[in-house]
């Protein structure tokens, strides 16, 4: 997001919502937010509006096709990460009773950050901060986060 403009928060109603926000964080890793925003409508379409079950069913052949699809950012590793993250999110939702319970299973931001980094692909500190902020989970003040994690 542009400096000084906080992203809009949502109230997730399904795993699809969590997957979409996480996927945006994955694509924004190392990229201009403007590029991600410009491609987002096509990305949503290519990923079945982030229907988590449909994303989890994306095959290697489908990934090869997506890597050549001009609607999306054609980074194969990031595209594959979205599919992997969908599988992991479904597993964690089942294991914890809800994905929100999984997100709240740690005592603090550092614990949650480390847990998410271990469980999901292409999720670094900034992407995790963005993800948690947008889905309405507790995060430290932005200045505090910047001072600790963006050295």
> So where are the chain's domains?
15-149
Distance CA 105, CA 127 (A): 19
Predicted pLDDT of residue 62? 97
pLDDT at 3 over 60: no
Predicted pLDDT of residue 151? 64
Q: What percent of the chain has pLDDT over 90?
A: 92
Predicted pLDDT of residue 4? 64
The pLDDT tens digits of the residues spanning 78-133 come to 999 999 999 999 999 999 999 999 999 999 999 999 999 999 999 999 999 999 99
Token pair for residue 17? 């919502």
102, 61, 69: which is closest to 85 by C-alpha? Answer: 102
CATH code reported for the domain at 15-149: 1.10.340.30
């Amino acid at each position: 997001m542009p400096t000084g403009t906080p992203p809009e928060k949502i109230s997730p109603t399904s795993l699809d919502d969590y997957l979409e926000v996480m996927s945006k964080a994955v694509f924004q890793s190392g990229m201009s937010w403007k590029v991600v925003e410009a491609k987002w409508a096509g990305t949503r379409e290519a990923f079945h509006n982030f229907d988590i079950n449909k994303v989890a069913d994306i095959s290697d052949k489908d990934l090869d096709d997506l890597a050549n699809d001009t609607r999306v950012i054609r980074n194969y590793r990031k595209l594959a990460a979205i599919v992997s993250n969908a599988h992991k999110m479904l597993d964690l939702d089942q294991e914890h009773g809800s994905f929100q319970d999984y997100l709240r299973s740690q005592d603090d931001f550092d614990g949650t950050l480390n847990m998410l980094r271990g469980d999901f692909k292409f999720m670094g500190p900034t992407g995790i901060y963005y993800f948690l902020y947008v889905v309405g989970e507790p995060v430290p003040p932005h200045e505090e986060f910047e001072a600790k994690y963006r050295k």
